[in-house]
Amino acid sequence: TIGLVRAERQRQAAEAAQRLAENRFQSARQFVEEVFDTVAPEFSGLVGATKAREALARTSVTFLESLASGSEKDESFQAELAKLYGQLALSLGNPYAPNSIGDYEAALRFANQSLQILQAIQSKQPNRPEALLALARAHDRVGSILLALARPQDALVHHRQNRDLLRQFLERRPDSSAAKEGLQIASFRIGHDLRAEGHT
């Protein structure tokens, strides 16, 4: 009887943990959709919007850190968390957005966190096209921030990784127009890195 009671308690605890993970996952998804996909773009082009974006980014850090705790084994949640870190990185420092905060050191930190999560996911699913594409974009993001920090040699490593991953993706999804466009951009980025290094 005692064994049955313990087993039932363990089952209930497992179910509660699963519900908590699902709730946290939904919170993360809602955060992405409502804040970064809806609110942040409204700041673009507004005078004085940089301060508002900075406040949003700083608040987001606290939120992300609270979500990250205890979610290491939930792959779906980790993928969403990687997306959040990537969005936060671009809010802090996006070399291609004039309204970016311009804090590239902080942006690099969060871009690398996103990259590390996606590398772990892709290592478990090496042949999954979506994992390849997400990882390629993460390398592009890190490389672009590194170039903005005047580190073209390091940027080149990531932009080449982006290119190679996109080629692997296209082997599996040859009709992807987004990947084809990304490959063209990757070639441009690599050329830019080489010129910044002093190559002609």
Cα–Cα distance for residue pair 68/83, rounded to 1 Å: 12
Q: Which of 96-105, 140-149, 187-196 is predicted with the least confidence, judged by mean pLDDT?
A: 96-105
> Above 60 in pLDDT, residue 176?
yes
Tokens of 88: 């936060």
Residue 96 scores a pLDDT above 70: yes
**What does the pLDDT average to over 3-8?**
77
Q: Is the overall model pTM greater than 0.85, yes or no?
A: no
Question: Between 134 and 94, whose confidence is greater?
Answer: 134
Structure tokens at 143: 């490389």
- Contacts (Cβ under 8 Å, ≥6 apart) of 189: 140, 143, 144, 147, 155, 159, 162
Task: Identify the pLDDT of residue 137.
Answer: 95
Task: Measure the CA–CA gap between 163 and 20, rounded to whole angstroms.
Answer: 38
How far apart, in whole angstroms, are the C-alpha atoms of residue 144 and residue 111? 10
pLDDT at 67: 66
Rounded Cα distance, 138 and 157, in Å: 13
- Cα dihedral 102, 185, 170, 178 in deg (nearest 10): 70
Write the single-letter amino acid at 97. A
Q: Which tokens is 50 given?
A: 């940089």
21 contacts: CB under 8 Å, gap ≥ 6: 71, 74, 77
Give pLDDT, residue 19.
Answer: 77
Cα three-residue angle 53-144-132, rounded to 5 degrees:
100
Three-class SS state of 97: coil
Sequence-distant (≥ 6) Cβ neighbours of residue 82 within 8 angstroms: 113, 114, 117, 118, 121, 134, 138
Q: pLDDT by residue (tens digit) across 33-82?
A: 666 656 655 665 555 666 666 677 677 777 766 666 666 666 777 887 88
pLDDT in tens, 110-169: 899 999 999 999 998 887 898 999 999 999 999 999 999 999 999 999 999 999 999 999
